[in-house]
Amino acid sequence: MINFLKDKCTGCTICKKICPMGVIEMNAKKAVLTDYKSCLECGACALNCEFDAIEVTKGTGCLNAIIKEDILKITPKGTGCGCGDGC
């Protein structure tokens, strides 16, 4: 689940540049998701948004997190997606 908070978005485009799937575009200087099905719910965009304008709940697309957190249990919940937060 991913949600862009329009009121907080400054249009800096960092999320668009960092998204590995290329599913973020700018619309009227606000970030929007263009293809929900292709979003991995990896959280990289939210981690790199300095304005807390993106909320991501890791979903089934984040296989790395599921393996590390839920199957191997080698990382704390919410840290295992490998999207730049040290995991």
Footprint of ligand SF4 on this chain (CB under 6 A)?
2, 4, 9-15, 19-21, 23-24, 31, 33, 39-45, 49, 51, 53-54, 56
- Write down the least CB distance from residue 69 to ligand SF4, Å: 16
* Residues 21/35/28/45 CA torsion (nearest 10 deg): -40
Residue 14 and residue 17: Cα distance in Å, rounded? 5
What type of residue sits at position 84? G
Least distance (Å) between residue 73 CB and ligand SF4? 23
Nearer to ligand SF4, 20 or 76 (CB): 20
